[in-house]
A and B are shown apart, each in its own frame.
Chain A
């Protein structure tokens, strides 16, 4: 197990190097001169040429690439062309904001998705099954943009239950420690703020959870249906075990492995791809940081951001792989 873990971690290195190369190639293939973008519409020709030179953008691509990798190896993500601040420091609050949102969203998606899938399989072909699967289909195809704005309209403006945007009440801001506000407010014993932060999380995380929830529900239902047809389930039932235990203990354990894979992939996707949710809910996350960076041709930020997201994605997959063993001891990783 340990050797496997170590081997897996080492195998990440070529993946990440490949990643840097691909990202570098793609963004340099896009037309548009960052110097022009930085200086804005008011820039003169000379100024643009001068800045292009200063930024090293007139160098051949391989020199730019090796400069980047060299800095990266020294733990330097570079300087943002737009804000001129070090990316190492800048990226952290965005990343934690996204992690908080993603975790809450994935928890909602898993709790509702897995249960809906199980119950659908349990009472397959019942009205619940049909209703849940129709909802799942709607969930997969629902534009987040529309869902988010509708959510704001219904739950904030009409019902007045939840705030529309942001992470906190800006008139009574949270003092950041870890920058994951649910933790920070608890650490400071500010339960009133904890509640406000939670309220701010509900709409964006629910919107973000819709698609993974639907995918997880459908996946759970499919695998559960298969497992519940198997002989050992019939045996368990015959022994007189209650249906609840049969479903939640015996079946789920065998059905959960593919679901776990989906959960892992979805978590990874949410981490990098929450731009729409972040935009509608004014959530200062990494998706928007990257989106802004792309608009400004802020190469160092794009490179670093994608690299970090890719690294997290790979890490999550590693964790999922290791979890398999934990859940199903029959899975063994040997040489």
Chain B
């Protein structure tokens, strides 16, 4: 008898645990009414929890080009100039006013007065000079400074000749030669002005103890878990920030992050899958926020490899790819088909260019002209990681494979881990490959020169494309100050690129964010990082 009771007891315990491990649709329905978030102990809403896919690499913005770093540091540090709220036009930052000499060699900045760093020290001309000296006397391993200003102080190509303080609140930059995107460069998050006192105090550990002038102060960083920043009570704009605290949480998986948002554990998330948009729209507690596009996803056609060294073959491939189908299927319609190597939001975009239409007959004719009407076999490399401009590379590759087979090109889809991928692409070891780029400073130079000039072979010109005429135009455009004239040059450059077809420009995608409905004034910036000082809960 005793045995039997025990038996029943054990069986019921196990049955219950099995039941709990599995899932039961009946309880789901019942529970809908009594649903409440697990973290119900949240205090009054002035703390924003921001869920994102990866951790920052460093909190010293000059030490990295990693976007996850800037999402945080843009709130802690300020730059001399700011971008517009949702574009890359230039606005006052730590510099209230500025003047550029006619020859484009002299930039004078009048600094905001009464600004203090979080450690209580004063922001002034000396602090600006201290920061620039730190950066330009560094090396490639320390600071990616050189990518925007032509090298370091010791290098011939370095743009800045001298920086001097005219008085306590006026700084003057003297350039060796005009650099058209100079102001736009200064607005990049990377060039946030740090407290000289804190830099001296922390040394190498400054990357874990950031001190700037921004609306938020650094509180704590638990690697791969969270970064906490709180309101700077002494911020020069007394009306800001609206929030008391921001917690940046790392939740690597996009769907899990959306689950956390739906459960109220986080208030905002980036990196929403396009395919999850419908789920968010169906939830009346959530909203979708669209980030303005400043990227390009493309198929590189390595111009040094046979048969892609033949322009006709590259043009034929351009005719054979149906961008609209790809956008509808994998970007949820949230992307523009690309025809140029830069997005239309960038000045100098050439809208007069007509894209290669999706036309298989034309493609076949071009292949015939190239003597390849019987087709050929080629490798198509698909990115192993998801990026806003290429969320589902493998599937896009399959569509392209299918299209190419219709013009007798047999594409073998291949992939390899990300580090190896970049390395092999860099060395020109791929035939066709998928890649993309998100702009740094909103300047056309940052797309066309960086991605397609012959100078960039070995860094970002993965297609190994070289055209001397293009090179001359791009170099000229770098050194003239008149934006109208520059725009004309970039339009011409885009014509050359279009004709030579080193890529199939694929899409300019719109990255999506999702947030709880009560989050207001969240304005995502095209560069991928935005200051959250105006964000609040309604």
A residues contacting B by CB (< 8 A) are 30-34, 36-47, 50-51, 54, 82-85, 90, 93-94, 112, 115-116, 119, 123, 128, 131-132, 135, 148-154, 156-167, 169-173, 192, 196, 199, 206, 210, 242-244, 279-282, 284, 288-289, 292, 294-297
B42 and A171 contacting across the interface, CB-CB below 8 Å = yes
If A32-B417, A40-B64, A112-B14 are given as contacts, then 18 extra A-B residue pairs at C-beta distance below 8 Å, sorted by A number, are A36-B419, A37-B422, A37-B423, A41-B437, A42-B450, A51-B140, A93-B222, A132-B18, A154-B23, A160-B34, A160-B38, A163-B260, A165-B260, A199-B38, A280-B253, A288-B224, A289-B224, A296-B419
Question: Looking at A37, A154, A165, A196, which has the most chain B CB atoms within 10 Å of its CB?
Answer: A165
Task: Report chain B residues within 8 Å CB of A166.
Answer: 225, 249, 251, 260, 265
Q: Mark B410-442, 1 if CB is under 8 A from A, else 0.
A: 000000011110111010000000000100100
A-B contact pairs, 26 of them (CB 8 A): A32-B419, A36-B426, A38-B141, A41-B459, A42-B144, A45-B459, A47-B146, A93-B222, A112-B17, A115-B10, A116-B14, A132-B18, A135-B18, A151-B23, A152-B263, A156-B259, A156-B263, A158-B28, A164-B259, A164-B265, A169-B41, A171-B43, A199-B38, A279-B256, A284-B223, A292-B224
Q: In the assembly, what is the distance between CA of A282 and CA of B38, in Å?
A: 16
Closest A-chain residue to B451, C-beta based? A41
- Residue B116 at the chain A interface, CB threshold 8 Å: no
- Residues of the B chain whose Cβ atoms lie less than 8 Å from the Cβ of A165: 249, 251, 256-257, 259-260, 265
Which of chain B's residues has its CB closest to A91's CB? B223
Quick check: A210 and B263 within 8 Å, CB to CB?
A: no
A244 adjacent to B3 (CB under 8 Å): yes
Q: B34's closest neighbor in chain A, by CB?
A: A160
Interface presence of B517 (CB below 8 A): no
Instruction: Decide if B2 touches A163 in the complex (CB within 8 Å).
Output: no
Chain B 458-497, CB within 8 Å of chain A: the 1/0 string?
A: 1110000000000000000000000000000000000000
Q: Are A162 and B38 in contact (CB under 8 A)?
A: yes
Say yes or no: A163 contacts B263, CB within 8 Å.
yes
Which residues of chain A are near B255, meaning CB under 8 Å? 149
Interface string of B115-152 (1 = CB under 8 A from A): 00000000000000000000000011100101100000
Which residue of chain B lies nearest to A213 when distances are taken between CB atoms in the complex? B21
Q: How far is the CA of A169 from the CA of B39 in the complex (A)?
A: 7
Please determine whether A284 and B14 come into contact, CB atoms closer than 8 angstroms.
no
Q: How far is the CB of A135 from chain B (nearest CB, A)?
A: 6
Q: Which residues of A contact B58 (CB under 8 A)?
A: 83-84
| A43 contact from B17, B257, B418, B459, Cβ within 8 A | B459
Q: How many residues of B contact A (CB 8 A)?
A: 77
Residues of A within 8 A of B395 (CB): none
Total residue contacts A-B, CB cutoff 8 A: 214
Bound CA–CA A288/B27 (angstroms): 34
B408 at the interface (CB under 8 A from A): no
Residue contact B31 to A51, C-beta cutoff 8 Å: no
List, in ascending order, chain A residues with CB within 8 A of B260's CB.
163-166, 282
Given A44-B458, A51-B141, A171-B247, residue A85 in contact with residue B34 (CB < 8 A): no
Contact between B459 and A42 (Cβ–Cβ < 8 Å)?
yes
Bound-complex Cα distance A280 to B252 (A)? 7
Are B450 and A32 closer than 8 Å at their CB atoms?
Answer: no
- What residues on A are CB-neighbors of B39 within 8 Å? 163, 169, 171, 196
B354 within 8 A of A: no
- Residue B197 is within 8 A (CB to CB) of chain A in the complex: no
Whether B207 sits at the interface, judged by CB under 8 Å, is yes
Q: Which of B139, B253, B426 contacts A50 (CB 8 A)?
A: B139
- A51 to B223, alpha carbons, bound, how many Å? 25
Contact partners of A51 in chain B: CB under 8 A: 140-141
B140/A39 in contact, CB under 8 A: yes
Chain A binding site: helix, strand, loop or mixed by DSSP?
A: helix
A281 to B58, CA, bound (A): 23
Q: How many whole Å from A180's CB to the nearest CB in chain B?
A: 14
Closest B residue, CB atoms, query A286? B224
User: B226 contacts the other chain (Cβ, under 8 Å)?
Assistant: yes
**Contact, CB under 8 Å: B2 / A242:** yes
**Are the C-beta atoms of B27 and A36 separated by less than 8 Å?**
no
Contact between chains at B225 and A284 (CB < 8 Å): yes
With a CB–CB cut-off of 8 A, which chain B residues contact A131?
A: 18
B455 — nearest CB in chain A belongs to which residue?
A44
Per the bound structure, the CA–CA distance linking A242 and B4 in Å amounts to 11
Question: Is B32 an interface position by the 8 A CB rule?
Answer: yes
B256 touches A280 (CB 8 A): yes
| In-complex Cβ contact of B262 among A157, A173, A199 (8 A) | A157
Distance of A176 Cα from B64 Cα, bound (Å)? 29
Residues of A within 8 A of B440 (CB): 42
Chain A residue contacts of B139, Cβ below 8 A: 50
A247 to B403, CA, bound (A): 65
CB-based nearest A residue for B207: A84
Q: Which residue of B lies closest to A111 (CB)?
A: B17
| Complex CA distance for A36 and B65, rounded to whole angstroms | 13
CA distance A167 to B224 in the complex (A): 12
Q: Please tell me if the beta carbons of A37 and B419 are within 8 angstroms of each other in the complex.
A: yes
A294–B384 alpha-carbon span in the complex (Å): 14
CB distance from B121 to the nearest CB of A (A): 25
Chain B residues positioned under 8 Å from A36 (CB to CB): 419, 422-423, 426
B278 within 8 A of A: no
Closest A residue by C-beta to B66: A40
Interface centre among B27, B39, B146 (most CB of A within 10 A): B39
Query: B37 touching A160 by the CB < 8 A rule?
Result: yes
Given A45-B458, A163-B265, A165-B251, A156:B38 Cβ within 8 A: yes
Nearest to B208 among chain A residues (CB) is A85
- A26 to chain B: closest CB distance in Å? 13
Shortest beta-carbon distance from B376 to chain A in Å: 26
Given A135-B18, A165-B265, the answer on whether A90 and B223 have CB atoms closer than 8 Å is yes
Residues in chain B near residue A115, CB distance under 8 A: 10, 14
In the complex, A51 Cα to B144 Cα: how many Å? 12
| B418 lies within 8 A of A295 (CB) | yes
Q: Does B102 contact A (CB under 8 A)?
A: no
